Amino acid sequence: MAKIALFVGSVRQDRHGIKVARWMSNKLEKRGHDVYFIDPLELQLPMLDRMYKEMTNPPEKLRDLREKIKNADGYLPVTPEYNHSTSAALKNTLDYFLEEYFFKPSAIVSYSVGQFGGINAAQHLRQIFAELGAPSISSSLQISRVQETFDNDGKLLATDYDKKANRFLDEFEWYMEAFSNQRKKGTPY
Ligand SMILES: Cc1cc2nc3c(=O)[nH]c(=O)nc-3n(C[C@H](O)[C@H](O)[C@H](O)COP(=O)(O)O)c2cc1C
């Protein structure tokens, strides 16, 4: 099926987001997709100095990351909400690349400990992915009160999210297939 780059948004040592990211990753794999699980905590990228394309000798981990982003058919960021926006860690990871994202769709998952599920972060990410050339699908998935939604082992407790997530992923798959078919005919640049 599709190759999907899933971005973890939080690098905090007590991060709730890793449970959301693993849950989404499992769902995508069960649907037959290949998931590139991109975790800024593991990557430990420095704050951006040169973009990938400006580097003369990029390190191995950045070359590997580039291949994943370039090969992906779609992007699924899992963002926390920090002061009504996405995280610096996610933004920093995304900013290393540009053309690699072009003409592929994104699908935004957000979460927070409050009732709004990180909707402000999701709205900012829509703008960011539009600029990256990977416009977001119409739906986004918000997880409210993330601390109560999963147990400590990452098991989903609020099962109504399963249905919402499945519908969201149905839509994402539709867009990935549509964009993929169109890319085969060529892209404007
Ligand atoms: C710097 C910072 C800013 C935050 N700002 C918001 C916010 O604007 N809205 C919100 O709903 N939650 C906010 N929170 C609470 C987060 O929803 C909560 O800490 C969540 O667990 C963050 O995800 P993480 O645990 O994966 O890092 C903020 C948390 C931090 C650390």
Q: Is 142 inside a domain boundary?
A: yes
Q: What is the pTM of this model?
A: 0.98
CA gap 159, 165 in Å, rounded: 10
Structural domain boundaries enclosing 55:
3-184
pLDDT in tens, 49-78: 999 999 999 999 999 999 999 999 999 999
Q: Is residue 157 in some structural domain? A: yes
Residue 9 located in a structural domain = yes
CA-nearest residue for atom 4, ligand 1, is 82
Query: What phi, psi does 7 have (nearest 5°)?
Result: -105, 125
Average pLDDT of span 31-44: 98
Cβ-proximal residues to 150 (8 Å cutoff; 6+ apart), any chain: 16, 19, 20, 23, 156, 157
Q: Is the CB of 112 under 6 A from ligand 1?
A: yes
CATH number where 17 lies: 3.40.50.360
Residue 108 Cα to ligand 1 middle (Å) = 17
Domain count, the chain: 1
The answer to the question of residue 189 being in a domain is no
